[in-house]
Amino acid sequence: MLIKTDQGFEHPTPSDITPRAVFEQRRGLLKTLAAGAAGPSLALWAARDARAQAATTAGPGRLPKLAAQRSTVEGAVVMDKLTAYEHVTGYNNFYEFGLEKNDPARLAHTLRTRPWTVTVEGECTKPRTFGIEDLLKLAPMEERIYRLRCVEGWSMVVPWVGYSVSNILRAVEPTGKAKFVEFITLADRTQMPGLRSSVLDWPYKEGLRLDEAMHPLTLMAFGLYGEVLPNQNGAPLRLVVPWKYGFKSAKSIVKIRLLERQPRSSWEESAASEYGFYSNVNPQVDHPRWSQATERRIGEDGVFQRKRPTLMFNGYEAQVGQLYAGMDLRKFY
Ligand SMILES: Nc1nc2c(c(=O)[nH]1)N[C@H]1C(S)=C(S)[C@@H](COP(=O)(O)O)O[C@H]1N2
Ligand SMILES: [Mo]
C-alpha cells in the first residue's frame, strides 16, 4: 500500500514493514470482528501485537540474535520499505577491506571482534575503557529504521539495533570545555588488507559537534536485522548518523575523544574541498564533481528505476534542522 506525502512521492505505510505473522493475525482479527465474535480476544490480540513490535525484522539467522524493542525516539522509525539483508550486507563501503562494494563482504571475515575495547577520553571527568560486553549492557537496545545515504548517490533503509551515543558520552561526564567528539576506528594491518593502500590516512577518523553527537537520533549500532553486526557493516559497533552522508557513520570504533577544538576527519584530510566537516545531506549543495539532487535506492535497480529526490537532512529536518539554525550550509558543507 502506498500513500502520497507532501514531498510528492510515495512512502509505504506501516503494513509494508509489518512482518507477515502480525499481518496475518490482523487479518484474522478482522475476520473475527466481521463474524461478530471479537469480544475479549481483542485485548489479547493487542498485547500480542505489542510484543511482536519488538525485533520485527529478523535477519537470516546466521549471526547471534540481538534483542531490541522498537525505538520511541522521534523520527527513529522511518516507514520506507526496508533494503534487503543481502544488499545491506553485500554492498558496502569499508575501505579497510578494499574499495569495491563487494570487497568487505568477501574479506572482512579476518576482522576479530573479540576481545574488543573502546577507550573514551579527553575532555571528560570520568575517562574510561569499556569492554564490548559492558557497552552491550550500558543501555536498552532499540530497533531503529534509518535511511542511510552515501555521498556517492545511493541510499538504503536499514533496521539497526543499538542506542543513542549520548548514553556513552554521559557515562564519562564531558567537561564544560568539550565541544566536539572524535571517533577513531580500528587500523590493524594483520586484519585489514585495505590498509596496504594509502587512499586514506589510517586510522579512519570522523568527528561531530558535541550537540550533534548528543542528539537522540545519533546511534551507536551493535546490530542490524535483529542480529549482531556482520563484520562488513562495522562490527562490533559503529556509528550511524542518519542525517549526514554515510561516511560520517564510522565503523569498528576503538576510541572516542571529547575535544575542545574541531577535529579533522580522514575524508577532510584526503579531500577537504569535497568532504567538509559537517557533511549534512543537502540536495542544494552539490558535491564538486556531481549533483546531490537525487539518489538511487539500492535494490530498486532496473530499467524503470525511479530517481528519488534527495531530502534535506536526508528527511530528518524536523528533528535536526534546529542544530544548524543561522548557519550558512554552503559554507559549512
Ligand atoms: N571504518 C570505516 N568506516 C566507514 C567507512 C570506511 O571505509 N571505514 N565507510 C563509510 C561510508 S563511505 C559509508 S557510505 C558507510 C557504509 O555503511 P554500510 O556499509 O554499513 O552501508 O560506512 C562508513 N563508515
Ligand atoms: Mo559513503
* HEC per residue, 120-175: EEECECCCEEEEHHHHHHCCCCEEEEEEEECCCCEEEEEEEEEEECHHHHHHHCEC
The per-residue pLDDT for 175 is: 98
Residue 206 CA to ligand 1 centre (angstroms): 11
Is the CB–ligand 1 distance for residue 185 below 6 Å? yes
The per-residue pLDDT for 41 is: 52
Residue 61 CA to ligand 2 centre (angstroms): 27
| Ligand 1 atom at minimal distance to the Cα of residue 186 | 1
Residue span of the structural domain in which 196 resides: 41-324
Evaluate whether residue 117 is within a structural domain.
yes
Within 13 Å of residue 61, how many CA atoms lie on the same side as its CB? 0
Report the mean per-residue pLDDT for the chain.
88
Mean pLDDT of 122-126: 98
Residue nearest to atom 24 of ligand 1 (CA): 250
Tens digits of residue pLDDT in 185-234: 999 999 999 999 999 999 999 999 999 999 999 999 999 999 999 999 99
Band (pLDDT 50/70/90 cuts) for residue 98 is very high
Evaluate whether residue 150 is within a structural domain.
yes
Determine the Cα–Cα distance for residues 249 and 218; give it in Å rounded to an integer: 9
Determine the Cα–Cα distance for residues 62 and 85; give it in Å rounded to an integer: 11
Residue 239 CA to ligand 1 centre (angstroms): 9
Question: Which of 98, 158, 95 minimizes the C-alpha distance to 297?
Answer: 158
Query: Residue 51 pLDDT > 50, yes or no?
Result: no
Indicate the residue type of 177.
K
- Give the pairing type, strands 180-185 and 253-259: antiparallel
Residue with cell 511482536: 52
Determine the Cα–Cα distance for residues 223 and 164; give it in Å rounded to an integer: 13
Cis omega (within 30 of 0) for bond into 263: no
Band (pLDDT 50/70/90 cuts) for residue 305 is confident
Residue nearest to atom 11 of ligand 1 (CA): 247
Query: Residue 40 pLDDT > 70, yes or no?
Result: no
Residue 116 CA to ligand 1 centre (angstroms): 19
Tens digits of residue pLDDT in 231-286: 999 999 999 999 999 999 999 999 999 999 999 999 999 999 999 999 999 999 99
The per-residue pLDDT for 307 is: 85
Mean pLDDT of 40-67: 66
Evaluate whether residue 1 is within a structural domain.
no
Residue nearest to atom 21 of ligand 1 (CA): 92
Is the CB–ligand 1 distance for residue 95 below 6 Å? yes
Query: Residue 36 pLDDT > 60, yes or no?
Result: no
Is the CB–ligand 1 distance for residue 265 below 6 Å? no
Is the CB–ligand 1 distance for residue 204 below 6 Å? yes
Query: Residue 39 pLDDT > 60, yes or no?
Result: no
Evaluate whether residue 17 is within a structural domain.
no
Rg value, the chain, Cα: 21
Is the CB–ligand 1 distance for residue 164 below 6 Å? no
Produce one character per residue of 250-266: b if its CB has 16 or more CB atoms within 10 Å, e if not.
bbbbbbbbbbeeebebb
Contacts of 2 (CB under 8 A, 6+ apart): 10, 11, 12, 13
Structural domains in the chain (count): 1
Indicate which CATH number applies to the domain containing 178: 3.90.420.10
How many Cβ atoms are within 10 Å of 210's Cβ, its own excluded? 16
Evaluate whether residue 332 is within a structural domain.
no
Residue 65 CA to ligand 2 centre (angstroms): 27
Evaluate whether residue 24 is within a structural domain.
no
Band (pLDDT 50/70/90 cuts) for residue 2 is very low
Evaluate whether residue 2 is within a structural domain.
no
Q: Assess contact for 6 and 305: CB atoms under 8 A.
A: no
Residue nearest to atom 15 of ligand 1 (CA): 246
**Which segments of the chain does DSSP mark as H helices, in order?**
20-34, 41-52, 85-88, 103-107, 132-137, 166-172, 210-214, 266-270, 317-320
Strand order in the sheet with 180-185: 128-131, 117-122, 253-259, 180-185, 205-209
| Ligand 1 atom at minimal distance to the Cα of residue 245 | 14
The per-residue pLDDT for 56 is: 65
Of 108-122, 241-255, 295-309, the one with minimum mean pLDDT is 295-309
Is the CB–ligand 1 distance for residue 247 below 6 Å? yes
The per-residue pLDDT for 261 is: 98
Of 17-26, 303-312, 320-329, the one with minimum mean pLDDT is 17-26
Of 26-30, 100-104, 189-193, 293-297, the one with minimum mean pLDDT is 26-30
Query: Residue 152 pLDDT > 90, yes or no?
Result: yes
Evaluate whether residue 23 is within a structural domain.
no
